[in-house]
Amino acid sequence: MRSLQRGLGRRITAVIVAALVAAPLSGTVAQAETATEYLQNPSFEQPGANAANPTGWTPVLLGNENAPFRWVVQTFNASGQFPPPNPIPDGQFALEMFWQIGANLGVQGIAAQQNVNVPSANDLFFSYDAAQTFYPDSRSANWAGAMAEVQFTSGGQVNSLRYFHPNSRTDYTGSPQDSATTKYIIGEQFTGNGDWVANSRDLDADIRTKFGFTDFTVTSVRVGNLQDRKAVSPFPNMTTYWDDVELTKGGVNEGPSDPPPAGDCTKINGIQGTGAASPCSGKTVTVQGVVTGIDDEVGADYDRTYPEDRGIFLQSLPSDDDGNPATSEGIFVGYVDTASSFRPGDVVRVTGQVKEKFGLTEIAEQIGQEPTKVGTAAVPAPVVIDRARAESQGADKPYYESLENMLVKLPVGTANSGGTNKFGELFLTPGTTRDRILEGEPLPASLLALDADAGAGNPGNPYKPSAPSTTYVTADLFDEVRDATGPLSFSYSHYKLMPQPGALPSVVDGPVAYPYTGVTQAAPGQVRVVSFNVLNYFPVGVGLDLSPVSQAEYDEKKARLADAIDRLLKRPDIVAVQEVYNLAVLRDLANTLGGYTAYLLEGNDSRSIDVGYLVKDGVTVSNLRQFDRTTAGCDDSGLAYDRPPLALDVKVYGREFTIVNNHFKSKGGSGASGACQLQQANRLRDQVASLEAAGRQVIVLGDLNQFETEAPLAALQTGSSLTNLWGSAPAEFRYSSHYQGVLQTLDHVLVTDGLDSAVADFRYAPISTDYADRFTDGHKVADHNPAVLTLSLDGIAPVTTATTDPAQPASGWFTSALLVTLSAADQGSGVDRTEYQLDGGAWTGYAEPVVITGDGSHTLAYRSADKAGNVEAAKTLAVKVDATAPVTTADTTPVGGVSVVLSAADATSGVAGTEYSLDGGAWTPYTQTVVISGEGEHELRYRSTDKAGNVEEIKAVTVKIEDSVAPTVLITGVADGTRYGDSLDLPIGWEAIDSGSGVKTVTGALDGQPFEPGTLKLYELALGEHTLTVTAVDNTGNQTVQTVKFSVETSTDDISALIDRFEAAGKLNATGAAKLQDRISKVMVSEDRGRERDKKKIVKKLERFVETVNDPKIVSDAQVRTLLLRDADALIAENGGTSES
């Protein structure tokens, strides 16, 4: 079991409030129904000397007040805030704050006094309950304890009987000393911050025993605080609660409610009674029972441990069972140092004082006396929890009360409050219904928890055990727990079933998958912002949870935080963190993650917990600053904020905004209304309004320590355009923490209106609430769920440009294959892809420059898309290609000379002009028929140029004019000594003229073989030199032999032209031709760029062309394959390579 303080993670006051609200105050034994009460307002919180006390009570100072030393007492009204009623019906609450001027004055105090005039009648009783609380930090003075004093007169002498309750948590060691007129009775000590003590005394007997008086008159009653004075600054913060302070005649008056009937305090069922409180409270009893289980962990808070929380559970022996279902047969015995030595079935006898500790009836064994084993007995069969009775019981849970401390069994329960919490508690509702228990909804009466204390192994520091408890039940949200068996304890307003070592229940996995995968990788163009309270990320050597942080603890915390951010949260762009000790540890975490930079400014918090940022590389940030760091206000430091809001300007994807990270005052410390958080929210709202007025958009986030429906959240959204995104989260996950079995939201993200439309997703990642602690990874590394905001900020498409190589010619016509390089840029998420479409074909992904070949006009469309999915509107580039020279023919007419008519044609860009050269003369533009005359042999050379600038290879016609009877032979279409590409067709013709007897025969031979005039397809000839011979014989036998020698060669242009020709002839299909053209065009590009040839590169590309030609799937016609391989081999050889075909 835990003391009051054990349940608090960061602020002790939060737990104090929760415990005091929930725990009913213990009652006292009723002696007579006709008792007369002499004191007014028996329940109140101790107010200060300058405060108005409840009616009837007057503040007084106790002890030496010698000048110049004095107390300055300040009182702040905090009605309805801290602390809340317990219940204290007078409605007057005050938070005492003492500031000592001077030092070394010994024990001093302040009290509330009520004057009475009650003569003794031998039936006066004096009773009360008291609790002390204070804020556990360096401001606390050293409490000596609390004291109740009865002043009385006897024989004209004023006397005081004082009941003193020491506070064991302080270093006060003094002992009150009796004097003739002042006597002390030492009562139950306070063992922890918020612990209650009970005292019920027979005043007549006490005065008779201490003073020997039998006749006296009570004149006043005082109740107050005693303090070992220390010179501390600022003032300490503490208070005392008094409940049922009663001076009665004829019995002790319980107040407005009827007390439970007195029981047999020698039996467990008599001690338990039929009500919520024990009728034997405060009495020392001796009981005997059978052990049903143990609690093997002491309680703890910030400053110390509480041994009374370790003990054993006893249950009545069958012979002592009263058979009354309204009385529990179980009791817890605390202060048992050897708890783990007891086994179920041991019969033990124990002596101790009956106490009501925050609703749990228990026996505090006498110091130094362990329970005595007297035998063994059968362990009672567990009582099976009746689900229907559990669900139908009232708010005070009488059904569970009747089973308190007894051995019980829960057949099946469902984890509807989240996974096992950091204290080893797993809250369950009986049955198999899955229904989250959320803040603002009715709390199921049947709710209880499993508690892992039995297997804790009595760690010296409960916060830092060497190993997890052996009775830790690992269960996640909605898991089913079956056959949980153990004693039913009570703490923190909840009944808790404590499984015992070796008897763990079974767990059936529910639908919640481990590990958590609810946060996916942010899409390109999205920005992920997370708020994460990382819970006490402290460096080595700093005190935390009763001992300094060790290196191993620090390393584990850092590694688990890194795992949560990296693996579970998918490396957000910005992580706004709370509860970080300093910049150094945050930088260490950033370095562990890699790719992050840490930002933090120190605040005012007494524990040095600050807010900061982890910013991923690539996100531009500036102007780190705090708001209202030194402004006076309501937080614990006396300033507006213990942890000032930390603002950071952000620029990403071209968008700018400001993030403000917050950690408001602890929720428990300001009461249910959240008055301080409301002040903080109003200040923050004003800062946001100023930022908006300056044109900035804002994200407000952090641990605001308020629920979504409370006033501070409403204030933030009034006077600014902030919107709380809580309602945008998936409905089933709208919570960021769990407390006492309830899932609730304390962490929030709000955005101004300019960012609202950019919100792509908002959710809470339940890595804390929904999972049990595996102790190794990012699940449960903190006690808050990260709030995850995803913004889509990139809405601009990329921009793509196209560049041609060579550059666009002045004529507008490219005379060779060209390369188009596409370049895309995107200032946001980055370019994802570029694609193009050539001449209306399919869109193709761009990987390398696009090659455009083939005479004619071409259109290249292109576009790019970025990683955010923005697609650019398609652009187009129009180009014209004419890589083929014009074709010119010569027609001759032998009339009185030889007339030559030149005709040129170009199917693409058109003929720009034709020119000729006669007998080696200057080139002359051809404008009309050329007439050749004169004896002898004449050569007419000619060529044409198209509008793209392509120049035709020179052709020639030879004319021989003789003055003999031998014929004149004119050969056309081929010129002597000329080299022709094998892609050309030569229109070979000849004519014989004889003005005498006339021509008898004209014959031709090509390379010695007969040849007839007509078109000569040069690719059908072998590469190399050829001879054309024309022989004319006239009718008289005169013979003229005319010879023309020419050469056939090849080039990449010729190969390309042949591919087109074979495709047009149906000897190549379109796919094959395209692949061949692609290969040869790459060779052409290397040749045409004008750089010095890299012959090895050309050979390499030609070899790839050969490989393609040799593929029968591409070139199926054997003749075509042979011709293309011949030409390729020739080019390979020409470039220094070796033919591979």
Sign of CA dihedral 580, 586, 592, 596: positive
Count how many residues are written for the chain: 1141
Q: Which of 613, 650, 478 is nearest to 534 (CA)?
A: 613
How far apart are the two ends of the chain, measured CA to CA in Å? 91
Residue 367 shares a structural domain with residue 483: yes
pLDDT value of position 83: 36
pLDDT value of position 65: 36
Q: Which of 578, 563, 577 is nearest to 529 (CA)?
A: 577
Give me 977's structure tokens.
């000594």
Q: Which residues pair with 532 in a beta bridge?
A: 577
pLDDT value of position 606: 92
- In degrees and rounded to multiples of 5, residue 685 shows phi and psi of -60, -40
Residue 622 shares a structural domain with residue 669: yes
The pTM (predicted TM-score) of the whole model is 0.59
Token pair 């069972």 in the structure block, residue: 321
Residue 361 shares a structural domain with residue 413: yes
Where does residue 27 rank: exposed (0-12), middle (13-18), buried (19+ CB within 10 A)?
Answer: buried
Residue 705 in any domain: the answer is yes
| Residue where a domain terminates, one of 742, 770, 792 | 792
| Residue where a domain terminates, one of 912, 944, 961 | 961
pLDDT value of position 215: 84
C-alpha–C-alpha distance, residues 797 and 872, integer Å = 5
Residue 1043 shares a structural domain with residue 1059: no
Residue 260 in any domain: the answer is no
Give the amino acid at 266: T
Q: Which of 288, 306, 290 is nearest to 298 (CA)?
A: 306
Instruction: Say if CB 503 and CB 485 are below 8 A apart.
Output: yes
SS3 for 44?
A: strand
Tell me the Ramachandran region of residue 439: left when phi exceeds 0, alpha when psi lies from -120 to 50, beta otherwise. Answer: beta
Residue 104 shares a structural domain with residue 150: yes
Residue 771 in any domain: the answer is yes
Cis amide linkage into residue 430, ω under 30° from 0: no
Residue 104 in any domain: the answer is yes
The conformation of residue 568, written as its DSSP 8-state character, comes to I
C-alpha–C-alpha distance, residues 1066 and 1060, integer Å = 10
Given the DSSP bridges, would you call strands 1014-1017 and 506-508 parallel, antiparallel or unpaired?
Answer: unpaired
Count of CA atoms in the C-beta half-sphere (13 A) of 807? 1
Residue 14 in any domain: the answer is no
Measuring CA to CA, how many Å separate 532 from each of 582, 729, 782? Answer: 16, 16, 9
Residue 94 shares a structural domain with residue 238: yes
Q: Return the CATH number at 415.
A: 2.40.50.200
What domain range is 638 assigned to? Answer: 527-792
Q: Return the CATH number at 208.
A: 2.60.120
pLDDT digits (tens, 9 = 90+) for 763-820: 999 999 999 999 999 999 999 999 999 999 888 888 999 999 999 998 899 999 999 9
pLDDT value of position 280: 92
Q: CB count, 10 Å around CB of 1109?
A: 26
Q: Which residues pair with 287 in a beta bridge?
A: 350
Q: Which of 959, 950, 1067 is nearest to 1019 (CA)?
A: 1067
pLDDT value of position 26: 27
Q: Which residues contact 1043 (CB under 8 A, 6 or more apart)?
A: 976, 1027, 1028, 1029, 1030
Q: Which of 62, 30, 23, 33 is nearest to 46 (CA)?
A: 62
Residue 553 shares a structural domain with residue 641: yes
Residue 682 shares a structural domain with residue 731: yes
C-alpha–C-alpha distance, residues 148 and 680, integer Å = 40
Ranges of residues in the chain whose predicted pLDDT is under 70: 1-35, 43-55, 60-110, 121-122, 132-144, 167-175, 191-195, 226-241, 250-263, 367, 668-673, 894-897, 934-935, 961-965, 996-997, 1088-1093, 1139-1141
Where does residue 502 rank: exposed (0-12), middle (13-18), buried (19+ CB within 10 A)?
Answer: exposed
Residue 89 shares a structural domain with residue 203: yes
C-alpha–C-alpha distance, residues 1041 and 1033, integer Å = 9
Residue 306 in any domain: the answer is yes
Q: Which of 14, 10, 136, 11 is nearest to 536 (CA)?
A: 10
Residue 740 shares a structural domain with residue 834: no
Given the DSSP bridges, would you call strands 574-580 and 526-537 parallel, antiparallel or unpaired?
Answer: parallel
C-alpha–C-alpha distance, residues 530 and 784, integer Å = 12
Residue 823 in any domain: the answer is yes
| Residue where a domain terminates, one of 508, 540, 572 | 508
Residue 1139 in any domain: the answer is no
Residue 465 shares a structural domain with residue 534: no
Q: Which residues contact 1060 (CB under 8 A, 6 or more apart)?
A: 854, 1073, 1077
Overall domain count for the chain: 7
Token pair 């688990």 in the structure block, residue: 560
Q: Which of 345, 575, 214, 296 is nearest to 460 (CA)?
A: 296
C-alpha–C-alpha distance, residues 1027 and 1044, integer Å = 6
Residue 366 shares a structural domain with residue 418: yes
Give me 715's structure tokens.
């204030």
C-alpha–C-alpha distance, residues 919 and 924, integer Å = 12
**Chain-centroid distance, C-alpha 918:** 88
